[in-house]
Amino acid sequence: MIIPNKFLKLDYNPTYDILFVEWPNMHDYTLTEVTYIIDEVIDAVRSYDIKRILTDTRQSKVTVPMEEYAKIINELALQLAKTRLQKFAKLQTSDADRETVSSNAAALVIGSIAYRSFSSTEEAVTWLTAGEGV
């Protein structure tokens, strides 16, 4: 089921209770939209009581300074920690700085949300659904 959104692709699979998020590009001129996007992801997680997210950041481009990017990702993590989300999987990029930012954000919510980064969608879905009898 596609959740309508004009800035990013949100695809929810109720069978596995996984929200697939195709992460958008982040540039200085899109920071207003990025705030909106974070709010939309949080609203979707709350509205559908989503327990698992798989985000694909592999194709997104980030041209904002890493410090700004880290603030955005940390805010997303902290907001997600206030929901009933249990697992967050991310398809990894080749950008070591972005991966470090993601790991640091995950460290902010240890104990609230399990986080792992994967190289393939199949591995991520297997981890997300492990132990759920699906």
Tokens of 55: 């985000």
**pLDDT digits over 57-82, tens only?**
888 888 888 898 899 899 999 999 99
- Whether the per-residue pLDDT at 4 is higher than 60: the answer is no
Q: Which domains does the chain have, with CATH numbers?
A: 2-129 (3.30.750.24)
In angstroms, what CA-CA distances link 67 with 14, 15, 106, 134? 35, 37, 16, 39
Are 21 and 10 within 8 A, CB to CB?
yes
Interval 85-104: pLDDT, tens? 999 999 999 899 999 999 99
Predicted TM-score (pTM) of the model is 0.87
DSSP string covering 16-85:
TTEEEEEPPPB-GGGHHHHHHHHHHHHHHHHHTT--EEEEE-TT--B-S-HHHHHHHHHHHHHHHTTTT-
